[in-house]
Amino acid sequence: MTSPTFKLGTRGSPLALAQAHMTAAALQAAHGWGPAATEIVIISTTGDRVQDRPLAEIGGKALWTKELDAALLDGRIDCGVHSMKDVETQLRDGIALAAMLPRADVRERLLGAESIDALPHGARVGTSSPRRAAQLKSLRPDIVTEILRGNVATRMAKVESGAIDATLLAAAGLDRLGVAAGSTVPIDVMLPASAQGAVGITARAGDAATLALLAAINHDATFAAVSLERGFLAALGGTCHSPVAALAEVADGRVAFRAEIMTEDGSEIEEGGFEAALEEAPALVAALAADMLDDASPALRSLFTPG
């Protein structure tokens, strides 16, 4: 009798499938499994089906995760593979964040121009991210942002056809797809979203055997950094409407943390950060969120609902 295959649930986009195959390969390497020991199961999500409206209008990040969570809970899959940037800060009951793969490039790539400064006056830039839109408008108030959703190929085609002048995409996603396109935007110009560049794997809470299998492929520094960034979002009470950037860099037991909160038009940006021992960082992240909200205007504070 053959052993049952380990089923990895994923969305069906090319990037999601690439990340699922990376996860399967990591499991095979860690446990000495052959290719037949893993199976990729595609789960259709609401976020994939509804492409004409911003996520915040139709249910937020849960649109990427709720169908995968349901498949986990009813046993159709053994784990879910996600872009961590798309995972809700508060996980659904019964779902555990089990592991993260090593983080890739956290930076943005600009398609359509060599740099943000090089964009023509009044350029139309497609993005569905409130953070990217706010950062762009802060740097270039003349820029017009337009809602743009869809997979990488769809967004690139909009630029190539002239429907928009430019767009921003995560460098990590382009790299995972083998797409050499766009100009890299320095972190000091655009701080990334919380968890950008990280792939996370969820499992059923309490499923000790599966959690142990997944622990073998966890990258500790990535898990620590992304957990701090997600902790910052949770302390702010940020939603899909809230323009937030956060980056934790973990090395040798220490963390350098940077964050921004901003109004939707980019006219106000509060910045903050710290360097500390890793064990001190969770409390410092919560304190930083409170301090930044205290310093913010009422208009900026209204975009957040801290607990």
Backbone φ and ψ for 43, nearest 5 degrees, come out as -115, 120
Distance CA 55, CA 46 (A): 10
What is the separation of C-alpha 245 from the centre of its chain, rounded to a whole number of angstroms? Answer: 11
Three-state DSSP class for residue 105: coil
Question: Which is it for the CA torsion 261, 267, 268, 271, positive or negative?
Answer: positive
How many whole angstroms separate alpha carbon 231 and alpha carbon 255? 14
Question: Which of the residues 48, 78, 86, 207 is marked catalytic?
Answer: 86
Has 188 been annotated as catalytic? no
CA dihedral 88, 236, 279, 220 (to 10 degrees): 20
Are 303 and 267 contacting, i.e. CB atoms less than 8 angstroms apart?
Answer: no
Residues belonging to the active site:
86
